[in-house]
Amino acid sequence: MNDYPAQQQFALKSPPFRRFLYGSFFVRCSDWMDLTILNWIVYEWTHSPLSLGILNACRLVPVFLFSMYAGGVADNYNRRQSLLVIYSGMMVSTLFIAFIIGEQASFILLLSAITIRSVLMSFEVPIRNAWLADLVPGSMLGSAITLQTTSINVARMVGPAFAGVLLGYYAASNIMLWVSAGTLLVIFTLLTVPGDQENTEQGKKREGKSLKDTIQYIIGQPGILAVLLVAIAPMIFGFPYTTMLPIFSKELMNLGSAGFGFLLSISSLGAITATGILAFRQPVMGGRWLIVSTLAFGTSLVLFTIFSGFYIASAGLMFLIGFTSQYYRTLSRIMIQMKVDGEYRGRVLSIALMDRGYIPLGSLFIGWIASSFDAYAAGLSMGLGTILFTILIVRSNRNLWKE
C-alpha cells in the first residue's frame, strides 16, 4: 500500500467520502439490476439479438450525445445539487418503465422511457466523477478512484445475481419498482453529504471554458489524448459482451436467467479483483499496462467463445474478462484524473466517459453478426475486433507504451 500522511489517509475514511461510496454502490446496483432485467425481458419479448442491440443503443447513445454538456454542468454548477435533481428524475423514469413492463405496453414506448432515463444518467456519471476530486486531497485521488470503482464493481456483482434470481420468482415490473426504491436510497444518502468542498478560486477558473478550449487543451496534452484514443477499440468491440450475454448464456451454454446473472456476477468478481490490485499498487508504466490489459481483454473474449461449452472454463474466462476490462478502464481513469488540470476536470472526464457511447455501435454490429450468422461468430468478432483495432490505434500513438 502507498504510504500517505495520516491526515490524507483520514480523508478516505471521512464520513463525506464514505457516504459518497455508499451512493455510488446503490446507484450502480440499481443500474445493473436494471440492465439485467431489461436485457432479459426484451430478449424474451422479441427473441431478437438486433432488438438487444437497439435496447442498449437507447441506453448508451445519450452518453455519446450529452456527455459534453454534462461536463459543462459539472464545471459550472453545484455538483451535489445537480445530482439530486438527476436522481429524482431517474427515480420517476424507472417507475414509468416498471409501469410499461407491467402493462406489457409497446416495445417503442419502453425504448422511449429507457432513452429518457439514459439522458439523465449521461449527466450523472461525469458529475459524480468530477465531484470525487472535491472530496479528497489530490494526492489521494488515485486511491479514491480505485475505492469508488471497487464499490461500483461490488454492485456490478450483486445487482445482476440478485436480479437473475428474482426474475425466477417475481414479475419484472415488481422488481423494477424495487430498483426505483434503490434510487430513492441514493437520494437520501446524497442528502447527508455536505455540499461542494472545492476551492473557490478553482471554481472561478473553470468558468468560461469552452469546448474549443477543452479540445485545444487535450491536443496539447499527448498523454491524455493517447489514453482517450486507446479506449475506442475495446468499447466498440469488447464491451458489448454484456449486451450479448443473454444470447451466449442461452445459445452457447443453455443457461436460464439465473445463469445469465451468474455470468455477470463472475465478471464483476474479476472486476473487483482488478480494482483491488490497483488500490494496493498502481503500475509505474501505466500506459504499457493499459495496452497489455486491453489486448488481454480481447484475448479473453476469444477464449470464452471457444470454450463456452465447458462451464468451469467459461466461468474462469468470464472472471478474466471482468478483470482485464476493469483493469484497463480503472487505470485509464486514474491516468486521466492525475494528468488533467482542475479547471478542465469536468469537461475532460465527460469526454473520457463518452467512451460508453461507443458501445451501441458495437452492440448493433455484433447483434447483426449474431442474427446473420450465430452467437459463436459474434463472440469471436468481439475479441478479434478488440485486439486488431487496439494494435492499429497503439501503432499511431507509440509514446503511450512509455507513459
Sorting pLDDT into bands at 50, 70 and 90, what band is 381? very high
pLDDT at 372 over 70: yes
pLDDT at 3 over 70: no
Long-range CB contacts (within 8 A, 24+) of 188-195: 189/19, 189/22, 189/23, 189/26, 190/19, 190/23, 190/80, 190/83, 190/84, 190/87, 191/84, 192/15, 192/19, 193/16, 193/19, 193/20, 193/23, 193/80, 194/16, 194/80, 195/78, 195/80, 195/81
Predicted pLDDT of residue 345: 72
Predicted pLDDT of residue 303: 95
Predicted pLDDT of residue 209: 58
Return the C-alpha cell found at 330: 480503472
Sorting pLDDT into bands at 50, 70 and 90, what band is 12? low
pLDDT at 242 over 90: no
Cα–Cα separations (whole angstroms), residue 154 to 32, 101, 161: 11, 27, 11
What's the DSSP call for residue 90?
Answer: H
Sorting pLDDT into bands at 50, 70 and 90, what band is 281? confident
- More confidently predicted of 180 and 67: 180
Percent of the chain with pLDDT over 70: 89
Query: Considering just the CA atoms, what is the radius of gyration of the chain in Å?
Result: 20
Predicted pLDDT of residue 321: 94
Predicted pLDDT of residue 296: 95
- More confidently predicted of 17 and 174: 174
pLDDT in tens, 284-318: 777 888 889 999 999 999 999 999 888 889 889 99
- More confidently predicted of 391 and 398: 391
Sorting pLDDT into bands at 50, 70 and 90, what band is 383? very high
pTM beyond 0.85, yes or no: no
Return the C-alpha cell found at 163: 436480479
pLDDT at 342 over 60: yes
Neighbour tally for 296: CB within 10 Å = 19
